[in-house]
Each structure stands twice: as C-alpha cells, then as structure tokens.
Amino acid sequence: MKIEKIEVRRLHLPLKHAFETSFGVQTKRDFLLVSAHGEGETGYAESVAMPFPFYNEETTDTIIYMLETFLIPLVLTSPIERPEDVARLFAPIRRNNMAKAAIEGAVWDLYAKQKGMTLAQALGGERTEIEVGVSVGIEPSVEDVVQKVEGFVAEGYKKIKVKIKPGFDIALIEALRKRFGDSLPLMADANSAYTLEQIDIMKELDQYNLIMIEQPLAHDDIVDHAFLQNQLKTPICLDESIHTAEDARRAIELGSCKIINIKIGRVGGLTESKKIHDLCQAHNMPVWCGGMLESGIGRAHNIAITSLPNFTIPGDTSTSNRYWEQDIVVPEVAFLKPGILAVPDGPGIGYAINWSAVQALQVHEKSYTMADVKS
C-alpha cells in the first residue's frame, strides 16, 4: 500500500463538563487528528495523550515531536504492505505508544478503505453491535456523582464506572449501591491512587459486588497488584500497567489481574491491541475497550476493535454527546438502542469527518510528503 502524504492537525475540542480523575482535571480535549493519504483514499486516527504527563509519560507535544522526527519519516520512506508492517517498523523505538498508535491507526483505516472493508472486518471483528458503558468523573460531592449516574442509567448504559481516589471511595460506592441496588453493573477506577498501605480500603470495596476495580495501585506495578488480587474476590482490571502483549503475559502469569482494559493508544496501536486480545482470549481472560475522552475518530477505532469476540465486557466508548456539544464526525456516535452502538458498515472507520467543525477547532496544521522528510 502506498502512503503518499500524512497530515497532522492539532485540535482543541471543549468538554461539556470538566472531567476529573485522581490525577487531574480536564476542561478541553487537546489532540491530533492524523490523516494518511494513498491511492485516492484517506485514513484517519487521533492521538489520545493527555496535555499533561500524569496518566502516562506522553503529552500532545511529545507526540508531535515523535511523529515529526521519527515516525512520519519512517512511514513515508519504508515499503508497507499491511498495517502490521507499521507496528514492525516502530518496534525498535521504545515506548511513545500513543504517538505510534496515532499513525498506525490512520494506516489501518487507510488499508481497510483501500480494500473496501470496514475497519472491524480488517481487524477480524465479528460483532455488528457492541454494548457500552460510561466513565463518570470525580465531582465535588458524592451526591453530584449519584445524580450523574442517575442520568446515565436512564440512558441505558450497560456498565457504570466511577472514578475514585482516597477520601472519595467507600462513601461513594455505598451511596451508589444504596440508590441503585446490587444489580447495577458498577465498577471503580482508581488510576493508581492507592498503595498496599491502604489495603483496608480495598477490602472494604470488596464488599460491594463491584464487577471490577481498575488500576488501584501504581501505574508501573504488577507485583503488588498480584498480592492484592489474591486478597480480593473482586477482579482487578489493569489499565496503566499494560503497554504490550508481553506486559499482559507477565500479568497473567503472576495473577496480577483477572481482566484487562485495552486502550489502543496505550498499547501502541491496533496491531498490539489485537495481540493482547488474542492472548487474553487464550487464557480465558475477558477484555474491554477503555477510553481517553476521544473525539468521534478515536471512538470509531474503539468501536471497531470492540467487535472482536473477547471484548465481552462493555467498554468506555460512550456516545458523542456524553462529552461534546458537537463532535467532529458525521454522523455523531449515537445509540442504536439504549446502551448499544452499531459497528458501522461503511468502509474503514465508517464515519466521515465534519470538516467545518475541524476547521473551527483547529489550532495547527502540517502536511508531510516523501519530499519533506528527505530534505
């Protein structure tokens, strides 16, 4: 497949409401829209790093640097037959997974479009509909979260994930169980806010029939998580700790988790996401698709990967209107039925770009061809 030109646009997309996690607050999404052109088709993907290095080490600016200095020149000057070749090209470059994923994803979309397939089909996905949940941020009070959850339950979301941090944990879960009962599919995401010194809090959370506790301990740990998993009946789900299929293998062998959250950006792209999916499937470990407050482009990629068979737990791919007044895709991501998204049947990601919205949000644009990177 020929990749003739790559474009990078930086966009600032305002969030409807501030989104707070244990590591920080966001009021807008600062991300890159990457386009890969070849043979008359264009593939799209977005970068998912936060503007600050508090979730992982990458930021939007480190991604621009990596794309421009290393990744785009490699893609424009190397023979590429399939998207997996891009992952292979990038393998000697350590980490910078979200930078790699931003361009690898655009190549996957381009590949699917050149072959006249959906991205889901190109990835080997089978599902035509997926179940989704919603991630609810930290609010000033427990009652504020309960109210938000009320709205999402009414909308039909299949899983409710709430963010927790020390001092905003047990009382929150207790209030949610009291209000919605024991059958609400509820989980908590700590974003690494705890250590084993706070194991008593984890043991208390263990009493609330949560479907999982996501990343309670350090972002770079699988040893303490294994110890903790042994003490809990609630499954631990790893997010921040898993960057590769090798990380997943080690976590499975150690017993560090019972579930893995796959984020395409965190693991360096769709090729690695598929590998982790396949590995987990072989070990009877369910996976689900996490989110990074993506625009519709990232959402479309998340929907496509979720069509693979071992994505058996609803992911964080909520609808466009959960975060955006106006998304940058047409049509916007919306429920087919409550809590259910259709896997689109158009070529590639199956969503078109709303160019007037992009134009209005764009703060930077640059285009790269073979001639640019050689000079």
Ligand X SMILES: O=C(O)CCC(=O)c1ccccc1C(=O)O
Contact positions toward ligand X, by CB under 6 A?
21, 55, 135, 189, 191, 239, 290-293, 316, 318
* 165 in catalytic set: no
Q: Does 272 bind Mg ion (CB under 5 A)?
A: no
Q: Is 129 annotated as a binding residue?
A: no
Query: Residue-wise over 35-64: b if at least 16 C-beta within 10 A, else e?
Result: bbbbeebbbbbbbbbbeeeebbebbbebbb
Cβ 237 vs Cβ 228: under 8 Å: no
* 158 in catalytic set: no
Placement of tokens 């560090």 in the chain: 256
Nearer to ligand X, 290 or 348 (CB): 290
Q: Is 200 annotated as a binding residue?
A: no
Q: Is 239 annotated as a binding residue?
A: yes
Q: Least CB distance from residue 33 to ligand X, whole Å?
A: 17
C-alpha–C-alpha distance, residues 188 and 211, integer Å: 9
Question: At a CB cut-off of 8 Å and minimum separation 6, what does 130 contact?
Answer: 303, 306, 307, 311, 314, 315, 317, 340, 341, 343
Instruction: Give me the catalytic one of 161, 263, 274, 275.
Output: 263
Q: Does 239 bind Mg ion (CB under 5 A)?
A: yes
The alpha-carbon radius of gyration of the chain (Å, integer) is 20
Nearer to ligand X, 293 or 305 (CB): 293
Nearer to ligand X, 315 or 350 (CB): 315
Instruction: Give me the catalytic one of 163, 165, 274, 275.
Output: 163
Q: Least CB distance from residue 218 to Mg ion, whole Å?
A: 13
Q: Which of residues 167-196 bind Mg ion (CB under 5 A)?
A: 189
Nearer to Mg ion, 189 or 294 (CB): 189
C-alpha–C-alpha distance, residues 316 and 234, integer Å: 19
Annotated binding-site ranges for Mg(2+): 189, 214, 239
User: Which residues are designated catalytic?
Assistant: 163, 263
Kindly list the residues in this chain that would bind Mg ion in the complex (CB under 5 A): 189, 214, 239
